[in-house]
Structure 1
Amino acid sequence: MHLRTPAIVLAVRAHGEHGAIVRALTPDDGVRPGYVRGGHGRTLRPVLQPANTILGEWRARTEDALPSLTVELIASRAALYAEPLAAAALDWATALTAAALPEAQPYPQVHAALAAVIDAVEAAPGARGWAVALVRYELLLLAELGFGLDLSECVATGATGDLAYVSPKSGGAVSRAAAVGYEARLLRCPPFLREGGAAEWDAILDGLALTGHFLERDLLHGRAADPLSARNRLVERMKRALS
């Protein structure tokens, strides 16, 4: 196996005294793991920061063997880790992607969307500049893995207007009229998820609560649930920034 392509670093785990096992998301070949000799050393550790873009070269004698991986830095996001909210966003987005996606299956839309989220954080480290993109990324990831929400019409009446809620069981939208008396049992659906555009903080937090429910229920089980702590830190930092 031989693959040479740009990739986004998702996760790095020390292996042995100086090596590291790296998982990175490629544009056309999905998540690819590889062993980086010296990856835990002083020289390569900054290159292998999650959210960095690298040029990776994977080589293995067989498809079943863990490939060796050599890396060159294309774009560093190290400066963003000095900003607590930006750092929390990058930690969560990369950890979620590493935990949710199976290896070696192409997800070009996910790669493009993750790159767009990282670019948004880089362009405007303040959360208002990227939080909407992050919620939409979570929604896309659910859809790409077969757990998409249906926000096109009311699951109860078929109405297509005033869809203010989502059923936590079916993932279908619910109109305001159909939700009367059941509001406390439903998840709020912020308008930006259907109409696009920017959003106020309360709508952003509603979006995070919505996608968080389905991520935890449908994708992040067992060991894959570990990244939820990174998401909790992100949401708490957002709330503190508002207070």
Structure 2
Amino acid sequence: MEWADEGTVLSLRRHGETSAIIEVFTSGHGRHAGVVRGGASRRMAPVLQPGGQVAVTWKARLDEHLGTFTVEPRRSRPSLVMGERLALAGLNAIAALLTFTLPERDPHPALYDRTSALLDLADQPDLWPLAYLHWEVALLEEMGFALDLSRCAATGQTTGLSYISPRTGRAVSAEGAGEWADRLLPLPPVLLGDGDAGPDDMKLAFDVTGHFISKSLLPSLGDRPVPPARQRLVDLICRDD
């Protein structure tokens, strides 16, 4: 068995004395693991850092085997943002969430394209936080937990949307919420494409996406905890804004 693709490194761990096992997120083969011979060497270590873009060729005798990767560097994003705390935290958060949520070897080409575009913004701090927020929304949608913010779930109106149902992810207007308002999540304008993406709005928005990641997405995968890297990034974004 053999295939070639391009992808983003998600994780790296040593394997024996000189090798490493990496996971990459590829367009055509999803989240896929393999052994890199010599992957523990000083020469390969910078290439295999999470967030790096690589070309890979995977080989195995049978499809169900772990197999081996031959790796060629394409873009070393971690080296471009070295010393940029927010950007490095972002690379780690994205890699951790994809590792936790994506089924192994299941292609998600649309999410792959969106992830690559986001990672390429890592050295642009003015664009990064809002782009990352919308990436979390896209991740939820890709995994079957899309937020429906187009109209009020109770009245059908498309204006005055102020809340979101913590159970269904559907928007609710102030009129539609009525006496149930205190049981709903606030819907910050930034999630609707409005507002100035200030720290308060961003925190409320990340509370919303965090709720559906922790209460809907991760329980569907075996009730895993939210990766700590995600909260570290959110704390940095809301503080730095």
Partner of 1:111 in structure 2?
112
Partner of 2:143 in structure 1?
145
TM-score, structure 1 normalization = 0.90
Task: Quote the Cα distance in structure 2 between the aligned partners of 1:149 and 1:101.
Answer: 19
Cα 1:196–1:43 shift into 2, 3 Å = farther
Partner of 2:76 in structure 1?
76
Q: Is the 8 A contact 1:100 1:224 kept in 2?
A: no
> Which structure 2 residues correspond to residues 1-243 of structure 1 after superposition, within 5 A?
1-77=1-77, 78-122=79-123, 124=124, 126=125, 128-195=126-193, 199-221=197-219, 225=224, 228-242=227-241
Three-state SS of the structure 1 residue aligned to 2:45 is: coil
Residues paired across the two proteins, number: 239
Three-state SS of the structure 2 residue aligned to 1:131 is: helix
Which stretch has the larger CA shift, 195-204 or 227-236? 195-204
Which stretch has the larger CA shift, 152-161 or 185-194? 185-194
Three-state SS of the structure 1 residue aligned to 2:200 is: helix
Which stretch has the larger CA shift, 106-115 or 194-203? 194-203
User: What amino acid does structure 1 have at the position aligned with 2:237?
Assistant: M
Three-state SS of the structure 1 residue aligned to 2:121 is: helix
Cα 1:8–1:227 shift into 2, 3 Å = farther
Task: Quote the Cα distance in structure 1 between the aligned partners of 2:206 and 2:47.
Answer: 30
What RMSD over aligned residues (CA atoms) do the two structures have, in Å?
2.0
Three-state SS of the structure 2 residue aligned to 1:232 is: helix
Which stretch has the larger CA shift, 43-52 or 189-198? 189-198
Q: Is the 8 A contact 1:7 1:26 kept in 2?
A: yes
Cα 1:161–1:26 shift into 2, 3 Å = same
Cα 1:196–1:105 shift into 2, 3 Å = farther
Task: Quote the Cα distance in structure 2 between the aligned partners of 1:204 and 1:9.
Answer: 28
Three-state SS of the structure 1 residue aligned to 2:66 is: coil
Cα 1:65–1:45 shift into 2, 3 Å = same
User: What amino acid does structure 2 have at the position aligned with 1:15?
Assistant: H
User: What amino acid does structure 2 have at the position aligned with 1:220?
Assistant: L
Cα deviation, residue 139, structure 1 = 1.1
Listed one character per residue, the Cα deviations across residues 148-190 of structure 1 (whole Å, up to 9, x for unaligned) are 1111221222222121211111111111222344444322223
TM-score, structure 2 normalization = 0.91
Cα deviation, residue 87, structure 1 = 0.8
Listed one character per residue, the Cα deviations across residues 82-112 of structure 1 (whole Å, up to 9, x for unaligned) are 1111111110011101111112221111101
Cα deviation, residue 11, structure 1 = 1.2
**Structure 1 spans left out of the alignment, 5+ residues:** none
Task: Quote the Cα distance in structure 1 between the aligned partners of 2:95 and 2:196.
Answer: 23
Listed one character per residue, the Cα deviations across residues 105-124 of structure 1 (whole Å, up to 9, x for unaligned) are 211111011011111223x1
Q: Is the 8 A contact 1:132 1:198 kept in 2?
A: no
Task: Quote the Cα distance in structure 2 between the aligned partners of 1:63 and 1:202.
Answer: 48
User: What amino acid does structure 2 have at the position aligned with 1:153?
Assistant: R
Listed one character per residue, the Cα deviations across residues 131-151 of structure 1 (whole Å, up to 9, x for unaligned) are 111111111111111111111
